[in-house]
Chain A
Amino acid sequence: MHAFANPARFLSIARPLTPWLFWPGLLLLAAGCFAGLFFTPADYLQGETVRILYIHVPAAWLGMSGWTGIAVAGIFQIVWRHPLAAVAGRAIAAPGALFTAICLISGAVWGRPTWGTYWQWDGRMTSMLILFFLYLGYIALANASASSGEQGGVSRVTAIFGLVGAVNIPIINRSVVWWNSLHQGPSITLTGSSIAPSLLWPLGLTLLGFSLLFGAIVLMRMRTILAETRIEARMRRMARD
């Protein structure tokens, strides 16, 4: 990992990798959405509404993976003082919050025709809303620390906040198992899937497509943050001369 501690070496890999994540991601996402809209049968119970699945599930997955990434970056920052970890945590926060919001909104739109309600305070929905607020808190903390000269990355307090917030991730995951809830239990588990294969396959495409796009966004944001840091350093040097 420390081979990448040098930003120049990181950039030499991140720059060519970005289009390789972005374009295949966009292509897979488009293919998955098209297949999910036109090639899959309607659900026996929900009818056409079930197609929201192809957006809702990847959004939930990335909202939760994003925070897991923030927590891992936090460990690397606190323990190994890895200079890029602080930048990575900051880069993940905004797309993570965006996908969490997409998950909440698509879930509300899906809940109305199926359950008969946009919103209920059950365990799954409440814990997911808390994740969204945690993202907002993390972004606010990261912005506050960036202006105090933390080299573009997040401060250690922010990294610790990222670690503490990770407690919510297993709670979201288990919320439909520990507590009885309006949200149904997990469809896809380690032992198999209770989604019929003819309905399931476009989900693989959108899941992979959104994930690649997420990776591309994070790399772009990391490059932006590093570039801004260099600009600021140069400006300071110029002001001194």
Chain B
Amino acid sequence: MAMKAKHQRLILVLAALAALIAAALLAASALKDEAAYFYTPSDAKTKGVEPGKAIRLGGMVVKGSLHRLPDGVTIRFDVTDNKAIVPAKFTGIAPDLFREGSGVVAEGAFDPSGTFVATNLLAKHDERYMPRELEGMTYDEKSHELRKAK
């Protein structure tokens, strides 16, 4: 039985789209590491980034780790992804949203002692938006509800 021309075209278009999506998914998964915008602290440890190589390091600023050196313009802090911790330091003006317990993306390189020397800091915030009165409430990832912190 001869197929109608429009059914042939429909099948052709669907097959082409399926092939295209498969190709894009393959490319995306192959790019998984290369297209990453930054290294996490555990990436940096397992991949063995050599000192002096310019990378971006991203993670959370460990609470209580941020302190200013006596020169007044250099800060030291630890970056974590909850699997590894990397010490970092930065000389200059940090963005307003850079704070402990919040996200950071630091551009720079490791020094031979394993401290990350940042030449630029970017603040990364999470997907939560809420009024100041709600600060201190915790966000439940599963139920997407805001709850009062205990």
Q: Which residues of A come within 8 Å of B, CB atoms?
A: 40-46, 50, 53, 75, 78-81, 113-117, 120-123, 163-164, 167, 170-171, 174, 178-182, 184-187, 189, 191-196, 198-200
Query: Contact partner of A194 among B32, B97, B127, CB < 8 A?
Result: B127
A117 contact set on B, CB distance < 8 A: 122
B131 to A178, Cβ gap below 8 A? no
Q: For residue B135, which residue of chain A has the nearest CB?
A: A44
B20 to A167, Cβ gap below 8 A? yes
A180 to B131, Cβ gap below 8 A? no
B133 contact set on A, CB distance < 8 A: 41
Given known A116-B95, A171-B28, contact A44–B130 (CB-CB < 8 A): yes
Interface residues of B in 130-150 (CB under 8 A from A): 130-135, 139, 143-146
Known: A79-B9, A115-B97. 12 other contacts (CB 8 A): A41-B132, A44-B130, A45-B102, A50-B129, A115-B125, A116-B94, A116-B121, A116-B123, A122-B37, A167-B20, A192-B144, A194-B126
Given known A42-B131, A179-B37, contact A194–B13 (CB-CB < 8 A): no
Complex CA–CA separation, A42 to B16 (angstroms): 48
> Which residue, of A41, A44, A184, has the highest number of chain B Cβ atoms within 10 A?
A44
Say whether B124 faces chain A, with CB atoms less than 8 Å apart. yes
Number of residues of chain B lying within 8 A (CB) of chain A: 45
Per-residue 0/1 for B13-24: is the Cβ within 8 Å of any A Cβ (1 yes, 0 no)?
Answer: 100110011001
Query: Closest CB-CB distance, A96 to chain B, in whole Å?
Result: 20
The 9 closest A-B pairs by CB, nearest first: A192-B144, A116-B95, A41-B131, A196-B130, A122-B37, A44-B135, A187-B127, A195-B129, A167-B24
B129 to A196, Cβ gap below 8 A? yes
A163 contact set on B, CB distance < 8 A: 13, 16-17, 20
Complex CA–CA separation, A199 to B134 (angstroms): 11
A40 contact set on B, CB distance < 8 A: 131
Query: Closest CB-CB distance, B139 to chain A, in whole Å?
Result: 6
Say whether B47 faces chain A, with CB atoms less than 8 Å apart. no
Complex CA–CA separation, A177 to B40 (angstroms): 15
Given known A114-B97, A184-B127, A192-B144, contact A123–B122 (CB-CB < 8 A): no
B122 to A116, Cβ gap below 8 A? yes
B139 to A194, Cβ gap below 8 A? yes
Q: For residue A193, which residue of chain B has the nearest CB?
A: B144
Query: Contact partner of A123 among B9, B37, B145, CB < 8 A?
Result: B37
B9 to A182, Cβ gap below 8 A? no
Complex CA–CA separation, A113 to B121 (angstroms): 13
Query: Contact partner of A114 among B32, B94, B123, B135, CB < 8 A?
Result: B123
> Which residue, of B6, B130, B144, has the highest number of chain A Cβ atoms within 10 A?
B130
Complex CA–CA separation, A117 to B16 (angstroms): 40
Query: Contact partner of B37 among A116, A174, A182, A186, CB < 8 A?
Result: A182
Query: Closest CB-CB distance, B60 to chain A, in whole Å?
Result: 12
A75 contact set on B, CB distance < 8 A: 13
